[in-house]
Amino acid sequence: MTVPNRQVRRTRARVLEAAHRLLADEGPDAVTHLRVAEAADVARATVYRHWPDRIDLLVDLLESGASPPVFEPPPGDDARARILAALGRASNNFDGELGRSLRLLLARADWDERFAHAKAAITGAGRAVLVGLLEEGRRSGDLVFEETPEVLVDRLLGPIVVRSLLFDDPVDEPYLESLVDAILGT
Amino acid sequence: MTVPNRQVRRTRARVLEAAHRLLADEGPDAVTHLRVAEAADVARATVYRHWPDRIDLLVDLLESGASPPVFEPPPGDDARARILAALGRASNNFDGELGRSLRLLLARADWDERFAHAKAAITGAGRAVLVGLLEEGRRSGDLVFEETPEVLVDRLLGPIVVRSLLFDDPVDEPYLESLVDAILGT
DNA sequence: CACGACATGATACACCTTGTCTCATGTGAG
DNA sequence: CTCACATGAGACAAGGTGTATCATGTCGTG
């Protein structure tokens, strides 16, 4: 991995930013070499040099946009509060632009290996964070449960996902609290 | 609504079937007027006559394929068994081709009104079936719960959705049983 | 600073897809 | 059988794709 030039970094950043706007405004079909180049005020050939395949550009876009803050391990004292904060962060990310990226990732992963990798990385990371919080709570004695942590993650994350990604209903703080209490028995 | 010709019906069926294969094999980007026409052995102009917009064809495809059996109200005696059967049917449908259609619908709904309608119709129907089963169980005395039925549907359906659509982990009968017992307290 | 390596802009090219049109031919309902 | 209408076949302009070339611009290094 050679570290890219300043010029290269600047160009990539400009292109990605333009592509990001295009994706957000007009959807994945609008992210073509031509339109991205025009929006970024960059030669079309330049876009081809960096991303010979349109799909690579889309994957880059989704990975850079959807990855970092989705399930960041939150600070806090007891396990319940930390889990609550993690779920709140997740639900905040699910609606809005990040939710759209996630849905796009889910759909494209069915037909394209590159999207599948990105999907696995992101969902895997999120799952790992929650599993970690649960195990930490069990070790510290804050939580007592019989099921595997993975099963509990399903039960905690699932309702939020269904509600925001499928039903387009809001998820607020009371909803999360009653969910956590019901699942974790706190 | 005029009832279409025999010729028209035949053509539409052939085109839809070819488009279906294309979607399943190569994904949504492959469903273009040209490729569908070639696969269906039909003139390209004919496809344009029936579906002037490529998106209409995709929506048609997803609605016809994804709608009917997703959450069919199952027969059975007690509420727990019926809900279990409904969830089992749903989880069977989530992986495989129907799951892909659902994910595609979710993603495209963010940028296209027509997909959004189809998504709302399908998810709404599914939710209604489960809510109905819960209310029926409450009336018959099989089930006792304090939350709204919608909240319980989130908790029942959510884990299954997350597990099959996000994590790509299998959902088997014991998983469903322990889920139902945990959520409904049976 | 000056040089050299390399990224970019500009342009050209052949090829493919799209959307629309026209007209001859085929098909089915009455 | 006949006529309305659906389809097939092909033409067409417009525009997107992918690749190549070369002059120009930008940066890192000596």
Query: What pLDDT shows up at residue A93?
Result: 84
Q: What confidence category does residue A23 fall into, taking pLDDT thresholds of 50, 70 and 90?
A: very high
Query: What pLDDT shows up at residue B22?
Result: 93
Q: How far is the CA of B29 from the C1' of C12 (A)?
A: 29
pLDDT(B104) > 60: yes
Contact B163 A154 (CB under 8 A): yes
What's the pLDDT tens digit per position in A30-75?
999 999 999 999 999 999 999 999 999 999 988 887 655 556 777 7
Q: Of all nucleotides in the shown strands, which has a C1' nearest the CA of B37?
A: D8
Burial class (CB in 10 A: 0-12, 13-18, 19+), B152: buried
Contact flag, residue B3 CB and nucleic strand C, below 7 A: no
Q: Find which of B106, B127, B177, B180 to mutate to test the A interface (most A CBs within 10 Å of its CB).
A: B106
Q: Which nucleotides of D are covered by protein (CB under 7 A)?
A: 5-11, 16-21, 25-28
pLDDT(B67) > 70: no
Contact flag, residue A26 CB and nucleic strand D, below 7 A: no
Are the beta carbons of A37 and A47 closer than 8 angstroms?
yes
Query: What pLDDT shows up at residue A1?
Result: 46
Q: Is some CB atom of chain B closer than 8 A to the CB atom of A128?
A: no
pLDDT(A20) > 80: yes
Q: How far is the CA of B124 from the C1' of D24 (A)?
A: 59
Q: Is some CB atom of chain B closer than 8 A to the CB atom of A10?
A: no
Euclidean distance between CA atoms B165 and B160, whole angstroms: 8
What's the pLDDT tens digit per position in B119-129?
999 899 889 99
Are the beta carbons of B62 and B101 closer than 8 angstroms?
yes
Query: What pLDDT shows up at residue A92?
Result: 87
Q: For residue B86, how far is the Cα from the chain centroid?
A: 13
Are the beta carbons of B18 and B50 closer than 8 angstroms?
no
CA dihedral B135, B139, B140, B143 (to 10 degrees): 60
Q: Of all nucleotides in the shown strands, which has a C1' nearest the CA of A37?
A: C9
Closest CA to B181 of B112, B83, B77: B83
What's the pLDDT tens digit per position in A165-184?
999 999 999 999 999 999 99
Helix (H) or strand (E) holding B93: helix B79-94
Contact flag, residue B50 CB and nucleic strand D, below 7 A: yes
Q: Find which of B114, B160, B162 to mutate to test the A interface (most A CBs within 10 Å of its CB).
A: B162
Contact flag, residue A46 CB and nucleic strand D, below 7 A: no
Q: Of all nucleotides in the shown strands, which has a C1' nearest the CA of A41?
A: C9
Q: How far is the CA of B7 from the C1' of C25 (A)?
A: 15
Query: What pLDDT shows up at residue A7?
Result: 87
Query: What pLDDT shows up at residue B48?
Result: 96
What's the pLDDT tens digit per position in A87-139?
998 898 888 888 888 899 999 999 999 999 999 998 998 899 999 999 999 99
Q: What confidence category does residue B1 fall into, taking pLDDT thresholds of 50, 70 and 90?
A: very low
pLDDT(B160) > 70: yes
Q: What confidence category does residue B94 fall into, taking pLDDT thresholds of 50, 70 and 90?
A: confident
Average pLDDT over residues A160-169: 93
Average pLDDT over residues B61-88: 80
In sequence order, the 6+-apart residues with CB closer than 8 A to the CB of B29 are: none
Euclidean distance between CA atoms B150 and B124, whole angstroms: 11
Q: What confidence category does residue B5 fall into, taking pLDDT thresholds of 50, 70 and 90?
A: confident
Q: What confidence category does residue A3 fall into, taking pLDDT thresholds of 50, 70 and 90?
A: low
Query: What pLDDT shows up at residue B70?
Result: 58
